[in-house]
Structure 1
Amino acid sequence: MSTAPDPDVLSRHGTPAPVTRVFGWAMLSVLAAFMINNVFIVGWGFPKPTQAFGGDGRALLLVAIYVLLVALAVFWVLRTPDRALRYDARAISDFNAYLIRGCYFAVLFTGIADATIAFIRVEGLLPYVFGEKLSHDLIRSHFIGPWIHLPLAVLGFVVAAFSRSLGFIWLALLIVMAELLIVFSRFVFSYEQALMGDLVRYWYAALFLFSSAYTLLEEGHVRVDVLYAGFDVRRKGRVNAVGSILLGMSTCWVIILVGMGSANAIVNSPVRNFEVSQTGTAGMYTKYQMAAFLGIFAITMLIQFVSYMFEAVADMRDEPGHRDAEPVGH
């Protein structure tokens, strides 16, 4: 997302668009509130907000989080009534770019570290390298998740704060190198372990799911609408604005609600239990993260769709600063 116009070139002020901005920022606020509530529900066993009518104070707290964050979004829009849509879109897109960068570097570091530990574990070298006590912990996913994967994820977001590259270039390079090593080890040295396939699948999943929001920004997704190419900028803006809401945001919310709608949902359950693959100690302990990738995909796409909607409405209103994405080959 580094190819977007420089924020210094974009005008901070523009024609007021209170309805569009309230809708967009409220959407992001609801997303933030949902994720905060998800932590409370999955991590601390809070009831769902829908149970607030039963008089449970903890559920009322979760409802209050929604109300507070949406109120802050409305307050922000009213406090900055002349903020340009394109300026808001750029700010949201930049935040999303940082989020994706952090995820990329987190996956990069985690993959290298977990594959190394898995190799040492498979070869029976854990007691010699880490000692007897730690070697017992390193076969438990409930130890590796919070004590190894989580610090590496934090490190990834720290590195992302100082990097301007999205990180997928390095990830793609390492995937190629990993595939090359698998070919050499299998066909030259007749050596193969489950962790090799786990590592490639882990990185491939991250590469494709995390890149989707960036592809949306760069107009890289394939369009099947043969009429769209002939539209002018304003008509394209109308199509993109409506499509962002009816198709993009709604799809993202379906994934989020199905995947994280309860403590036992298809994303929450593996993450909560630090689920591992059927290969067990012979493979990597990253299966639970691959479930989380679905949530990250939906979240980053939803954020990018809000930014995309702001840009589309600005195009529809023929505001200055239209951004032409570079052509992408398919």
Structure 2
Amino acid sequence: MSSIGGVSEQASAMSGTATGSDTGALVVRLFGWIMLAATAAFVLNNYLTYWLDLPGVAPLFGGAANGSDNPAMSAVQLGVYALLIALAAGYALRQRGKLLRADSRRISAINDFVIRAAFFAVLSVGFVDAAISFLRVEGLLDGLVGSELATELGRSRFRGPYVHMPLIGLSIVLAAFTRTLGFIWLALLVVAAELLIVLGRFIFSYEQAFMADLVRFWYAALFLFASAYTLWEEGHVRVDVFYAAFSTRTKGYVNSVGAVLLGMSLCWTILIIGMGSKQAIINAPMLAYETTQAGFGLYVKYLMAGFLGVFAVSMLIQFVAYLFDAVADIRGEPGARNTSSGAAH
């Protein structure tokens, strides 16, 4: 499957300047890039606060510190927001007069990379974790890696940092050198994994917990990671009794308002509720490397909690690109996309 929207080719084709007044476009461009900067700062500070046990920025605003109160470190963490927002604003100002569609494609290219990395991560982690679980349940792991390492591989706090995290790092590298999102392959793998369960259960009378865990792991990734791509391709269900008859300009107004008030607000709600504290629904299982109760299942439940964070971030990025494209429609900029649904012209 090709990357989101044929990003690189379309971005280069639309690097020209916009005509007419660009004050409104500048405001939208500043808003969008600052939104992305704030998202990056939020995720980075979440890691610094809850994984590295820094105090966070809350003490500067009268909130409770994470661990010991350290005003200097809190100021540094607040400075992360200031620095990234300043860089985003500077970039947006340098793009003044350029087409918003070029920014939209550029942002989609960023999202393309994020989703590719997530795809390779679930692919590699799924295969490797399933192999380890199979060897454990069949009593083959001790003879292959030794009893000491086999025991460690049975602990989530070892398997997560020393098996999953290196695979995720490798996936990020692979994502930098590939151009496919892989959703078709992931869907095929979900079907193949489910087929193996059926064949094993009814033909060979063999079924293990890790087999069902693998299906859930890949299916959850397929559903959540493909959402941003589906948004870009106008593939989400839309009640278009009135929308279908709107002009391109009116559709731009509807899409821009919806992207901000409905899309971005939902994504921030997920991030704030899910990552707002150590006990939050995304942070808590990830910090504990939470696993399922099945002793020989996959050790990936904590990663599935992280899927919600990836979903929120990727959708937020895509909503910014969607906003830019919608405002470009309002301004009558050239280069509008043709989607399969026919919603964008």
**What TM-score do you get using the length of structure 2 for normalisation?**
0.92
Of 171, 183, 207, the residue aligned with 2:198 is 183
SS in 2 for 1:4: helix
Matched letter for residue 297 of structure 1 = F
Is the 8 Å Cα contact of residues 252 and 302 (structure 1) preserved in structure 2? yes
Q: Which residue of 2 aligns with 1:10?
A: 14
In the TM superposition, what is the alpha-carbon distance from 1:79 to its structure 2 partner? Answer: 2.3
Tell me if structure 2 keeps the 8 A contact 1:2–1:165: no
Answering whether residue 181 of structure 2 is matched by residue 166 of structure 1, we say yes
- The one-letter amino acid of 1:164's match is R
Paired letter, 1:216: L
Determine the structure 1 residue equivalent to 2:142.
127
* Structure-1 residue corresponding to 2:65: none
Measure how far apart 1:13 and its partner are: 2.4
Q: Bigger CA drift: 302-311 or 258-267? A: 258-267
Name the stretch that deviates more: 189-198 or 171-180. 171-180
For residue 48 of structure 1, what is the aligned residue in structure 2?
A: 56
Instruction: Tell me by how many angstroms 1:225 deviates.
Output: 3.6
1:100 correspondence with 2:115? yes
CA distance in 1, matches of 2:50, 2:17: 41
Cα distance in structure 2, aligned partners of 1:9 and 1:72: 25
Q: Which residue of 2 aligns with 1:241?
A: 256
Could you tell me which residue of structure 1 aligns to residue 328 of structure 2?
Answer: 314
1:286 aligns with 2:300: yes
Deviates more, 1:85-94 or 1:8-17: 8-17
Distance 1:246 1:191 in 2: 50
Q: Does 1:35 align with 2:39?
A: no
| Rounded Cα–Cα distance in structure 2 between residues aligned with 1:11 and 1:72 | 21
Cα displacement (A) at 1:44: 1.7
Q: Deviation at 1:143?
A: 1.0
Per-residue deviation, residues 9-34 of structure 1 (Å, max 9, x unmatched): 22342243210010000000100110
AA at the equivalent of 1:45: D
The alpha-carbon deviation at position 173 of structure 1 amounts to 1.3
C-alpha contact 1:92 1:304 (8 A) present in aligned 2: yes
Which of 290, 297, 321 is matched with 1:275 structurally? Answer: 290
Q: State the alpha-carbon separation in 2 of the partners of residues 77 and 172 from structure 1.
A: 38
Stretches of structure 1 that go unaligned for 5 or more consecutive residues are: none
Structure 1 vs Structure 2: percent identity of aligned residues? 53
Could you tell me how far apart the structure 1 residues matched to 2:197 and 2:157 are? 28
Which whole-Å deviations, capped at 9, do the CAs of 1:180-227 have from their partners, x for residues lacking one?
Answer: 111111000101111111000000000000000000000000111410
1:304 matched to which residue of 2? 318
Aligned length: 328
User: Secondary structure in 1 aligned to 2:206?
Assistant: coil
Q: CA shift at 1:53, angstroms?
A: 4.5
Aligned pair 1:265/2:280, yes or no? yes
When structure 1 is superposed on structure 2, of 147-156 and 92-101 the one drifting more is: 147-156
Q: Hey, which bits of structure 1, 4+ residues long, moved more than 3 A?
A: 1-5
Tell me the secondary structure at the aligned position of residue 44 of structure 1.
coil
Query: Gaps spanning 5+ residues in structure 2: where?
Result: 63-69
Q: Give the distance between the partners of 2:5 and 2:80, measured in 1 at CA.
A: 35
